[in-house]
Structures are given as structure tokens and as C-alpha cells.
Structure 1
Amino acid sequence: MMHYINPLINQRADPHLSLGDDGYYYFTASVPEYDRIELRRARHITELSCAETVDIWHAPSSGPYSSLIWAPELHNLFDQWVIYFAAAPNREIVDGLFQHRMYALGCHAENPCNGDWKLLGQVDSGIDSFCLDATHFKHHGKSFYVWAQKDPSIAGNSNLYIATLKTPTWLDSPAVCLSVPDKSWEQQGFKVNEGPAILLRNNKVMITYSASATDENYCIGLLWADTRSDLLDPNNWHKLDDPILTSSVEREIYGPGHNSFTCDEQGHDLMVYHARSYTDIKGDPLWDPNRHTRIKHVNYGNDGLIKPDLPE
């Protein structure tokens, strides 16, 4: 298996790396300024660190999606390229939370780095509250949308939800809550379930997600369901009792989280995530730019689930 030098890309949080049908790897992430969405592409993963970055969208100077552009993800669905992202009208915190909502951009270009990107609109989950970190996957002919959102009736910052999609911006089913931060390792600093990522392997649909505050307590947990089950039934989902990726003092890798999945050139599964190399953060961790993109191979246990491991 290919060995990767980490960090793969400096100062890029919430990384999303995918392999397109055209044979190119595409990368996007939150930039430290939180003011735009950038893409880069390369034939090989190792080339992404020096690949040209293309700013495909800038936040407007004002309006509901003008600030704090977080966690973009590039997907190909409904015969077009789509980028999901979260944005807020400003940096104001109301009732302990930012005011993010979920949005989508679209383009029909063969190469999304050269596309004419247009705002498709807001993705309305049916709950008018702080929401973010949307992702997408296809399964049994259906398009599924998974995201994090605050339920005003549930204590904490965010839970995980799933629904089917009718279009890139319209849900085709009610939102179903899959997980709330009910374990101690999901409640360090803040009660958080966010940053879902999907991996279909070994007859299982697995959702990794991030938990707790975005400092050294940040970690990655795992939900899973049988591929033959009704994914919109929360009773079919199971949560591991312990996280699968946490900080490592020995390796000086802290706060691993907000991952995505891809495959290397030989078809081996990879987890792409961000982490810091220190714990002495000045002020709010969100304004510390040194969450770097890292990459590691995915290992599986005898049960077919992602095996708990150390960050690399």
C-alpha cells in the first residue's frame, strides 16, 4: 500500500477528497478565512499538495450566506456537479450557536474546476435551526442526504439526520434523527455530533462523524446499518460505544475529525481528516488556522466495521 507523508495539505480543515469518474482526485475544504470555496484536482493524491487551487465561489459581501463558509463537499448527482456547504449571515452567536444554514452550488462542466458555478439555493431540512456538514451517497437507486443540525428540544449543539433527496436542494422524505451526543466522549466542551461521512463496505452502511469541541477533544465515532435495512428507520442504526479515532499524545496529533473517504490508486480505502500538532490554542479553536489535512488507510475488524486506530 502507498505510504503518504502527513500532513497532506496544510491549513485545510474539514477536508473532502473524492475520486471522480474521470480518474482525477478532487479536493476541497474549509479555508482559514472562511470566505470562499476552492477546488483542486490531480491525477495522484500525492500531487494535491502542490496542485493549483481554483476559487470557484466567493461569499457575497452581505446576505444569509455571506459569512463563515464551512465544510464544502463536491458530489456528482442528478447529472451535475454539486457542492454542499454551510454558511451564516454574520459571525453573531445567538443562544450559544452560530446561525448556519445549508446551501448548494451546481455546475454542468466536465471539469468542475473550470465550471460556471451557480447557487442552487438553500437545502431546507424542515427544521429552522443551526445546521451544517451535509454529505451525499447513493444506495439501492436512491440519493441520501446526511447532515448535522440543532434540534431546539434536544440539549446540545447538533445531532445527525438522514433523508432522501428529490433534487440537489429538495428532500424527498422527512428528516430522521440517527444520533444525538449521548456518550461522554461526544460531550467534551460541547455536545456535538457533526461532520458525517459515508462508507459502504462489507454489507454495511457506515457513517463516521465528529464529536465534542474542536480542540484536542475532537474525535471520530461510528454509526452503522445493514445494507439491506431501511436506512430511514433509526432503529436499524447502531452506534459504537467508543470512538474509532482520537488524539495521540505520542504521535503529537490532536483533535482528529471531520473526515471523508476515498480510495488510493490501488483501490485501498483511505480516511482523510484534519488534526493539529499541538494543544496550546490561543482563543477559540475555530480561529486557529492550523488544522491540517491528513490521510490514513482504513483497517477493518472481523465484524467488517472500521477498526479503531491511531491517527497518522
Structure 2
Amino acid sequence: MNTSWQNPLVEQRADPHLSLVDGRYWFTASVPSYDAIEIRSAGSIPGLANAATKVIWRAHASGPMSWHVWAPELHRIDGRWYVYFAASERDDIWKLRMYVLECTGPDPLNDPWLERGQIVTPEEGFSLDATPFEHNGRRFLCWAQKSPPTESNLYIAELSNPWTLKTEPVVITRPDLAWERIGFCVNEGPALLKRNGRVFIAYSAAATDANYCMGLLWADENADLLDAASWHKSPTPVFCTHEAAGQFGPGHNSFTTTPDGQTDLLVYHARNYRDIVGDPLNDPNRHARVQAFGWRSDGFPDFGTPVADGTYSLGD
């Protein structure tokens, strides 16, 4: 198998979420205007670059879900399609909360979408980046939430249905390392990866400029994932700015594979310049990129470094 695509794969799409379902790739991400959710699909990764986009939902005119529509993720759970995303209010733009949409039919591009509402957490507060996953017959949710108000931690809980928590949330990481606290004290953007007897969660840290980077958590596959003591954290970033390649602030990743499942792929956003004018959140040039990664002899992922822009070739 020899496949190639252009990086960036999709320009001006931050927080990319890419999944492979029944032989087709599905892509969604934050749009620069932060006011809608769009998805696209293709039979190959290079095909996503020019695939038609479909806006499946738009922000409300006011009230909840009317501002800062961020980081959508498209998941198929028990045969149904769901989108997890965060949004705030036009009159309170930092009142970020997590929400879920459900597709009423089997075709996410053409069937109507239903608002399932907010994912309610016991400690009401700034929350975002919800990602669901199944493990050992149970379904979990991992997300970022501010508590105390100045720090964004990662939480985990079991789900009773795709939009309702079943158990009390547990903090599995706080931004307690120096590289997680540059600009802002942040752990966010969790992404799940299971391999070699472990459950891994990659996440993103620091401000959304060139300091943005990825960290890694892991637990034994038979551990109690709701026990904070089960989780361990890399003391150093596992993927970060690579100035020689012209890639700055890589993060908010997701994982997928080649169609045959033989090659693991890292999907992330990054900018191709360091200096940003104004608020980084208002700079639209976090582009979605895809590259392969491997595994070390100790069973841990080796993400390498961000590749330079241009043709990326994937071979045997």
C-alpha cells in the first residue's frame, strides 16, 4: 500500500476529529467562525481534502449554544451517530458547556439531527472537549473542566446513555507540570488509544499558541479507570512545536488508522508560523494534518515530530 496526501489536509480547521467507520473516513472540526458544525466524508484520507462539507447544525441566535461552538467529535455508538461539542452563550461567552446531537437516521450527511441537550456535570462550570469511549463492556466519557476556576483538568465518568453521566466524575490529570502551565494552566482535548495492554489518553496543554503541545496518560487495561490512582502521566510532552519543520503548537488530536488497520495515524492541528497577532483564538490558521506514528519496544506510542507541509507519503 502506498498512499499520499497533502499536509495540511484541511486548512483552517482546528480541533480535528477523524474516524474510520465501515470503510469510510468521517471528518469534523471547529470552523473559524465558531458558529456551526460541519462534517465531511470520503473513502480515503486524500479524498477528504476536497470532499463536500455539510453543515448539520448552526448556533442558536441567543442563550445556550449561541457562541463559541468548539471541537465537535462525530461518533457512532450502538448503531447511532452522535456529535459531542462545546458551546457558550452570546451574552456570556465563557459559559462553555458540553452538548450532544443525535442523528435520527443512518446517514449523518442527510438525515436530520436532534439536540439531546447538555451533558450535566455535578460541579457546573466551564467544560468542553467531551470524548466517549467503550472499554471492557462499559462506556465512559472523558472531558476537560475548570475546577478551580483558573485550571482546566481532565475528568472521567461512566455513562448511562450517550449524554448522561452515570457516576461521579474523577480527575485523572491536572496541569501540574511546568510545560502544561505556559500562558494558561490547561489539560484539554483528550483522545483515546488502546494498545499493548494499556489504555492511553493523549491530551493537549498550555496556551493555544506555539506553546501548545500534547501530553500522554496511561492506565493498565484491567485497572479501574474511575480510580485516579490507575492513571500515570508522562513527565514531558510527547508531541510539540518543531521549528525546523515549520510547525507550531501542534495538538488537540484524534487517532485513526489506514483502511486496513495496519498503520496508526495521528490527526492534529498546528500553525506554520510562530508569531500571532492578537488573541490566538481569533487566528484561523490552525490547519488539520495527518501523519503516521509507531510504537516503541516498551509498548508506548512514538508520535515523532510534526512533519513539514507538503506531500506526505505513506508506504509499506
- Give TM-score scaled by structure 2 length: 0.94
- Matched with 2:15 is 14
Matches within 5 A, 1:98-113: 98-113=94-109
Report deviation, 1:296. Answer: 1.2
**For 2:301, what is the secondary structure of its paired residue?**
coil
- Matched with 1:150 is 146
Determine which of 121, 126, 135 is the counterpart of 1:125.
121
Residues 69, 164 of structure 1: alpha-carbon distance in 2 compared, 3 angstrom cutoff: same
Matches within 5 A, 1:21-100: 21=22, 23-90=23-90, 92=92, 98-100=94-96
Cα contact 2:255–2:264 (8 A) shared by 1: yes
1:213 matches 2:214: no
Q: In structure 2, how many angstroms separate the alpha carbons of the residues matched to 1:287 and 1:91? A: 18
Q: In structure 1, how many angstroms separate the alpha carbons of the residues matched to 2:166 and 2:87? A: 23
Report deviation, 1:65. Answer: 0.9
Matches within 5 A, 1:252-271: 252-267=246-261, 268-271=263-266
Report deviation, 1:80. Answer: 1.4
Q: In structure 2, how many angstroms separate the alpha carbons of the residues matched to 1:208 and 1:220? A: 7
Cα contact 1:133–1:195 (8 A) shared by 2: yes
- Aligned AA (1:2): T
Q: Which runs of 4+ in 1 moved over 4 A?
A: none
Matches within 5 A, 1:153-172: 156-172=150-166
Report deviation, 1:92. Answer: 4.2
Q: Deviations over 1:120-168 (max 9, x none)?
A: 010012111100000011111111100000113xx63310000111111
Report deviation, 1:194. Answer: 0.2
- Aligned AA (1:12): R
- Give TM-score scaled by structure 1 length: 0.95
Aligned length: 305
- Aligned AA (2:147): D
Cα contact 2:99–2:118 (8 A) shared by 1: yes
- Aligned AA (2:69): I
Cα contact 2:29–2:73 (8 A) shared by 1: yes
Q: In structure 1, how many angstroms separate the alpha carbons of the residues matched to 2:13 and 2:120? A: 27
Q: Deviations over 1:50-94 (max 9, x none)?
A: 00000000011111111110000001124411100000012746x
Cα contact 2:20–2:259 (8 A) shared by 1: no
- Matched with 2:194 is 200
Determine which of 302, 305, 311 is the counterpart of 1:310.
305
- Matched with 1:250 is 244
Q: Deviations over 1:253-291 (max 9, x none)?
A: 000000000011232110100000001211000000000
Report deviation, 1:295. Answer: 0.8
After TM superposition, the structure 1 stretch with the greater mean CA deviation from structure 2, 302-311 or 134-143, is 302-311
Cα contact 1:78–1:167 (8 A) shared by 2: no
**For 2:215, what is the secondary structure of its paired residue?**
strand
Matches within 5 A, 1:224-243: 224-243=218-237
- Aligned AA (1:192): V
**For 1:230, what is the secondary structure of its paired residue?**
coil
Q: In structure 2, how many angstroms separate the alpha carbons of the residues matched to 1:131 and 1:25? A: 28
- Give percent identity, aligned residues only: 51
Q: In structure 2, how many angstroms separate the alpha carbons of the residues matched to 1:292 and 1:217? A: 16
- Aligned AA (2:144): A
RMSD: 1.2
**For 1:185, what is the secondary structure of its paired residue?**
helix
- Aligned AA (2:27): F
Report deviation, 1:307. Answer: 1.6
Report deviation, 1:243. Answer: 0.7
**For 1:26, what is the secondary structure of its paired residue?**
strand
- Structure 1: gaps spanning 5 or more residues: none
- Matched with 1:186 is 180
Cα contact 1:161–1:176 (8 A) shared by 2: yes
Report deviation, 1:302. Answer: 1.5
